[in-house]
Amino acid sequence: MIRTHQGKMGSTEICRRLVPEAISWALTRFTRLVTGAQARWIGCAPVPVQRVYFGNHNSHADFALIWASLPAELRRVTRPVAGADYWNASAIKRYIIHEVLHGVVIERSREDSAVEPVDVMAEALKAGGSLIVFPEGTRNTTDELLLPLKSGIYFLAQQCPQVEFVPVWMDNLGRLLPKGEIVPVPLLCSISFGTPLQLQPAEDKDSFIGRIRAALLATKESAQPGE
Amino acid sequence: MMSHLQTTWLMAGGILALLVLASVLGAWLKLKVADGNPHSLIDSLNIRIRAWWAMTIAIGLALLVGRVGVLILFAFVSFTALREFLTVAPTRRGDHQALVMAFFIVLPFQYFLVGVEWYGMYSVFIPVYAFLFLPILSAVKSDARNFLERTGTIQWALMITVFCISHIPALLNLRIPGYDGRNVFLIVFLVLIIQSGDIFHHVCSRYFGRHQIAPQVSPNKTAEGFVGGTASAVVLGMLLSWMTPFSVTEAALVSLACTLMGFFGGLALSAMKRDRGVRDWGIMAEGYGMLDRVATVCVVAPVYFHIVRHWWSA
């Protein structure tokens, strides 16, 4: 370290900042190109308000699509919530999730973790960022529109009741890259942002989860390409 | 017959003049007749005019590059149209391998076959080999639900968007005595008469349309529009016979065959679109898609190709 002169340090520093920026740019472009999706802001506008974007989960690409659909200034402060079992599995995935996506990595199975996943997410919100979550908890490979939702999103809302919860419905991504497949097919996808909701005072879990689910399905309906 | 260079300049100049005229007319109509307000006919005319500019520039650039340029252009058109068709297809997880094959193997290979002028193979590759092979990829995934509908849709998508469209660059492969080096005008002729038929059909339907031909399938297609569109395409075909190997009478007959095929083939494609519950193929692409623009040319291309090949090619 002592022998490293100033110029070398400078370029290392530049690399450390620019490489994630470049990967992020490439990932955004690539996602938009492959999915052909244009974001439809139906129930709200892309404004810098602290939010939790919650989407339906069919594919790994969901993650990238929500992220790529946000305007750059929102993307910088929005952190995807990701499962540690998948994203910490290899050096490349770790680099992508931490350095490029600035993800919030949580342990999905409770036993592995000393801290509650919800606390990790709430901490990220209290630091001022926005989050991307998938309340189904895992990718939906069934014929159902949505799997039963996990209750974590309710406990998150309890800790941060001032935050807007924005439903995000994505169509066709499960067909673009189904679970277990490697090569994506370039089908056109759509992504729609619905009307935000907030936890009501003294609202119970079932009511809130019910509204979260209804909001997702309503966003799907309003995004239908009609006659 | 005119020399190659004269034909090229006459054609390029004529098309550019027409486009400028159309753009000026479109802007004038928008300003004077519609007062700048939304107006369904004028707006759809203007959308078409913009598409013609894009089409002319794309084809012009491809022609400058040469045969390879034309192949790449139409391969791209096929890719975009296939993407739109399969986006609304009722496929399931088990079809993923077949879809990957359709996009990344079948499509490029069909254009490769056209490129190497292997007529015997590019005529049967999709109708026979893709037809037999792709359903196997889906079947081994052991999911039989809606199987016929799924595989049928994939096959139709490939037939229309890849097989049919690839017959446009295939026109360059034909050897027509006394017409060397000018095959490219066969493409221009086809596109011009189809586009003119389309626009006159649209206008005649709008102003004189009384009798819908198949209202459940395509409410915009009327008997009056059909007569107007067909007549205009035949007249234009006769006026443009100088750029083709056809005599004036032959040009009229070829144009008639092409517009008839285009009109009724387009009707069949509209029925498929209805069945999938979309108004436009490009519904997911926000606005007008590629397949909406090229659907008529798609269904005509192989028929036109075989007419020219059978009666004019050596």
**Using one digit for the tens of pLDDT, what is the confidence trace for A35-88?**
888 788 988 888 888 999 999 998 878 888 998 999 888 888 899 998 888 888
User: Residue A226: pLDDT above 50?
Assistant: no
* Residue B63 confidence (pLDDT): 79
Cross-chain Cβ contact B83/A187 below 8 Å: yes
Indicate whether A4 pLDDT > 70: no
CA distances from A30 to A34, A38, A200, B22, B101 (A): 6, 13, 39, 37, 21
pLDDT mean values, one per 10 residues, chain B (314 residues): 70 85 87 78 81 83 85 92 89 90 96 95 96 94 88 95 96 90 88 88 82 81 88 92 92 94 90 82 65 88 96 87
B59/A191: higher pLDDT: A191
Identify which of B83, B86, B284 has the shortest CB distance to residue A225. Answer: B284
Residue A178 to residue B96, Cβ atoms within 8 A: yes
| B283:A178 CB<8 A | no
Q: In the structure encoding, which two tokens stand for residue B299, read together? A: 């269904």
The answer to whether the Cβ–Cβ distance between A183 and B104 falls below 8 Å is: yes
Using CA atoms, how far apart are residues B22 and B57, in angstroms rounded to an integer?
15
Measured over the CA atoms of residue A16, residue A17, residue A23 and residue A27, the dihedral's sign is positive
The distance in angstroms from the start CA to the end CA of chain A is 66
Measure the CA angle with vertex B143, ends B140 and B146; round to 5°.
125
Record: contact B83-A189, CB cut-off 8 A: no
- pTM here? 0.83
Q: Which residue of A has its CA nearest to B92?
A: A175
Please give the Cα distance from B49 to B293 (Å, whole number): 11
CA-CA distances (angstroms) from residue B9 to B2, B4, B12, B86? Answer: 11, 9, 5, 40
CB A170 within 8 A of CB B284: no
How is domain A6-223 classified at the CATH fold level?
Answer: Glycerol-3-phosphate (1)-acyltransferase (3.40.1130)
Q: What is the pLDDT of residue B288?
A: 57
Residue B93 in contact with partner chain A when CB distance is under 8 A: yes
Nearest CA-CA distance, residue B96 and chain A, Å: 7
Place of tokens 């490979």: A141
pLDDT category, A3, cuts 50, 70, 90?
very low
Q: Distances in Å between the alpha carbon of B309 and those of B162, B190, B254, B312?
A: 19, 14, 12, 6
A227 to chain B: nearest residue by CA?
B279
On whether the CB atoms of residues A39 and A69 are closer than 8 A, the answer is: yes
Question: Does the structure show a pLDDT above 50 at A176?
Answer: yes
Give domain limits for chain A.
6-223
- Contact list, A174 vs chain B (CB under 8 Å): 93
User: Is A139 within 8 Å of A115 (Cβ atoms)?
Assistant: no
Distance from CA of A204 to the nearest CA of B (A): 37
Q: CB-based contacts of A155: which residues, under 8 Å, 6+ apart?
A: A118
Residue of chain B whose alpha carbon sits nearest to that of A189: B284
- Taking an 8 Å cut-off on Cβ atoms, the answer to whether B84 and A190 are in contact is no
pLDDT of residue B162: 97
Q: What is the pLDDT of residue B249?
A: 94
Contact B244, B251 (CB under 8 A): yes
Q: How many residues does chain B have?
A: 314
pLDDT of residue B133: 95
Q: Assess whether pLDDT exceeds 60 at residue A227.
A: no
